Structure 1
Amino acid sequence: MEKTAFLFDLDGVIFDTEGQYSEFWSRMANEYFPGKGLGDNIKGQTLRQIFDTYFPDDLQAQGMLTNALNDFESRMDYRYVPGVEQFLDELRAGDYPAAIVTSSNRDKMRNVYRAHPEIKSLFTHIFTGEDFTRSKPAPDCYLLGMEVFGTLPERTFIFEDSFNGLQAAKDSGGKVIALATTNSRQDVSPYADLVIDDFVGMSLPLLFQML
């Protein structure tokens, strides 16, 4: 029997945090950078992608935003998406490999570990932005997960919410489950094999019907 693996984005998939990020970037835009087009336009982008697009030569702005974001992430409410803990328990009971695959950096993850020290035990591996050269929407991060776990794309389930992440998941060839936590069901459906609102009712038999 071929091996099956499960890869999860972090924000908007494991934790219901995307709304908090939207508020943060909207506040930054309104207070410091009106007219820059921040806010909802940068969902799913890394800080480096944001800098390259909006502040390529403004080191002062980059420094200010880095400090503000680090402070914000240290105080965020890292609340689990409904049902995800139960689904992860099901994966562990079945001894299925699972990984977080996030463009977030290790500094951000230290904040996550402080809020949820148990999360390391829920996953076989945690990949951060330092582990791959090209960030989402490039598929590199998910291809890396498949390589580490030794799974074929068609036997790899990928859970994503942002457009950049969904594009990365789709281009990797994996089975894509889109969460409508950040964008509407209608908007994410073109990228996905399955669209869900959260993990309530999610189960292995349901997913294995897709194989």
Structure 2
Amino acid sequence: MSGKMKKALLFDFDGVIIDSERIRYATYEKLFQQEFGVQIPHFDPFIIGRKQEVNLQMLLEASGVEADISTLVSKRNLLLQETFRDYNNIMPVPGLLPFLSQAKEKGYGLGIASSSTAQYILPIVEYLRIRNKFDAIITSEDIPGDRGKPHPDVYLLASQRMGIPPEKCLVFEDSLHGIAAAKAAGMYCVAVATSFRKEELEGKADDVIDDFTNVTINSFFEFHNL
């Protein structure tokens, strides 16, 4: 990519790097059953992409119970650790690994911009042996509590740390909140239909794919003149 301004591919984590949204949601279900004996709705896709503090507050209000958010966060983090401890539940989204290799070979900047915690993300990228492919990893700890997705902050920070302007960044997202964050950051957004149906994502993102199988870098950057 010599002689041209470098471009970046930014990835949400859950539902884009690994296919994990329903597994992660199950930890909310288990937490509320254990703590309050309450059954929350089975897989509410509306919470995907947001910081867990926001989701927990919403679920508390919907369930009519009260609790300390920070305590619930700690307990849910333990459930997440238990769920992913043996890595049996970790499956990269189909086609992702060769796609990352292709992008790295072509000289694109690569970043992760997620609402999940570093404690959760970093061991998984190490397990998948893809940590060295990313120039920046932005997690929930990097963003103020009230500025998570759909606010653009996580993507703007990734752009800033990588030294690549937003208009030269392409985002892969699986959630409506994440798509809104990417678009608010002024970035081209490709939705990955792992958590929502394609028809629910069309018209929200600039493009929609099922997964990374048979997807090439040129199919986005050259076609859309990014």
Please give the range of the TM-score, normalised by the shorter of the 2 chains.
0.7 to 0.9
Match status 1:210 vs 2:224: yes
Alignment of 1:134-149 (within 5 A): 134-149=147-162
Q: 2:22 aligns with which of 19, 23, 47?
A: 19
Q: Deviations over 1:136-165 (max 9, x none)?
A: 111001011112223232221000001111
Cross-structure match for 1:160: 173
The reply on whether 1:84 has 2:96 as its aligned counterpart is: yes
1:127 corresponds in structure 2 to 138
What code does the residue aligned with 1:120 have? Answer: R
Question: Structure 1 residue 50 and structure 2 residue 80: aligned?
Answer: no
Map Cα deviations across residues 51-92 of structure 1 (whole Å, 9 max, x no partner): 332348502655543432332233452211111111111111
Could you say which residue in structure 1 is the equivalent of 2:118? Answer: 106
Q: 1:73 aligns with which of 66, 84, 104?
A: 84
Percent same amino acid among aligned pairs?
29
Q: TM (normalized to structure 1)?
A: 0.88
CA distance in 2, matches of 1:113, 1:2: 27
- In the alignment, the residues of structure 2 paired with residue 159 and residue 113 of structure 1 have an alpha-carbon distance, to the nearest angstrom, of 17
Match of 2:8 among 5, 23, 29: 5
**Which residue type is aligned with residue 180 of structure 2?**
Q
Q: CA deviation at 1:36?
A: 4.7
Structure 1 residue 196: Cα displacement: 0.1
CA spacing shift, 1:119–1:33, aligned 2, 3 Å: farther
Q: 1:63 to 1:155 in 2, by over 3 A?
A: closer
Question: Which secondary structure does the structure 2 equivalent of 1:71 belong to?
Answer: helix
Equivalent position amino acid for 2:142 in 1: D
Instruction: Give the 3-state SS of the residue equivalent to 1:7 in structure 2.
Output: strand
**Cα separation, partners in 2 of 1:65 and 1:121, compared to 1, 3 Å:** closer
Question: 1:44 and 1:24, CA in 2 relative to 1: closer, same or farther beyond 3 A?
Answer: same
TM-score (norm 2): 0.82
CA distance in 2, matches of 1:79, 1:147: 30
* Structure 2 gap ranges (5+): none
Q: Deviations over 1:75-131 (max 9, x none)?
A: 452211111111111111111110111111121124314532x12112112111112
SS in 2 for 1:85: helix
Cα–Cα, structure 1 residues 113 and 160, in superposed 2: closer, same or farther, change >3 Å?
closer
Partner Cα separation in structure 1 for residue 37 and residue 74 of structure 2: 14
1:27 CA drift (Å): 4.3
List gaps (5 residues or longer) in structure 1.
Answer: none
Does the 8 A contact of 1:29 with 1:37 survive in 2?
Answer: no
Q: CA RMSD in A?
A: 2.3
- In structure 2, give the amino acid aligned to 1:79: M
Listed as ranges, the matches of 1:185-196 within 5 Å are 185-196=198-209
SS at match of 1:39: coil
